[in-house]
């Protein structure tokens, strides 16, 4: 029988079910992040920056609004100086630019240029096309279930990780 960790509520589900999925999650993560797929999508995007800088561009594009460097760092889960370097690389390539923060004149906001937004969109469309093809032979209900459950899983994991970060000693 599984016993809850001190301070953790007892879970209704069986921890063995989750444990059985962990190797598959690791396999999927490795296939996506280290595999040819990301490289192929970056080629399709026509971006001549490295992966970390492109991650910043994607975060900006999908945020749908200009962000401060601190917010970018939080989005891509890096320290602020690293995000600053990536923003500078993107600026040199003409993929992002700075605008004044209307709420604080001392701060700049970063947003994609038209070229940067187009590159991020080409990248996303390449991935969407690839993933759509990977599950095209699935029954419609399975595809809907995957989307629903993956969204729920991501939201719950993200919420739980945020709570963990909130309780971490500084």
- Per-residue pLDDT reduced to its tens digit, 79-101: 999 999 999 999 999 999 999 88
Q: What whole-number percentage of the chain has pLDDT above 70?
A: 90
Kindly report the length of the chain: 170
- Residue-level pLDDT at 10: 52
Burial pattern 8-25, b for ≥16 Cβ within 10 A else e, equals eeeeeeeeeeeeeeeeee
Nearest to 42 by CA among 114, 124, 100: 124
Q: What whole-number percentage of the chain has pLDDT above 90?
A: 50
- Enumerate residues 6+ apart whose C-beta is below 8 A from 80: 69, 70, 73
Contact 113, 96 (CB under 8 A): yes
pLDDT at 169 over 70: no
Average pLDDT, the chain: 86
- Residue-level pLDDT at 141: 97
Whole-model pTM? 0.72
pLDDT at 42 over 90: no
Nearest to 90 by CA among 54, 51, 64: 54
Q: Worst-scoring range by mean pLDDT, 28-42, 60-74, 135-149?
A: 28-42
- Residue-level pLDDT at 51: 86
- Tokens representing 136? 């095209």
Complete DSSP assignment for 69-94: HHHHHHHHT--HHHHHHHHHHHHHTT
What pLDDT digit, counting tens, does each position of 106-147 carry? 889 999 999 999 999 999 999 899 999 999 999 999 999 999
């Amino acid at each position: 029988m599984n016993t809850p960790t001190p301070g953790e509520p007892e879970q209704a589900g069986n921890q063995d079910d989750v444990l059985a999925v962990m190797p598959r999650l690791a396999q999927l993560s490795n296939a996506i992040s280290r595999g040819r797929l990301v490289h192929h999508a970056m080629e399709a995007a026509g971006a001549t920056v490295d992966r970390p800088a492109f991650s910043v561009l994607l975060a900006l594009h999908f945020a749908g609004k200009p962000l401060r460097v601190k917010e970018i760092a939080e989005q891509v889960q890096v320290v602020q100086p690293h995000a600053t370097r990536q923003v500078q690389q993107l600026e040199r390539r003409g993929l992002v630019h700075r605008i004044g923060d209307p709420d604080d004149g001392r701060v700049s906001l970063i947003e994609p240029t038209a070229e940067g937004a187009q590159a991020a969109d080409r990248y996303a469309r390449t991935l969407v096309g690839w993933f759509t093809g990977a599950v095209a032979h699935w029954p419609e209900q399975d595809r809907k279930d995957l989307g629903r459950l993956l969204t729920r899983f991501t939201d719950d994991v993200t919420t739980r990780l945020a709570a963990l970060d909130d309780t971490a000693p500084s």
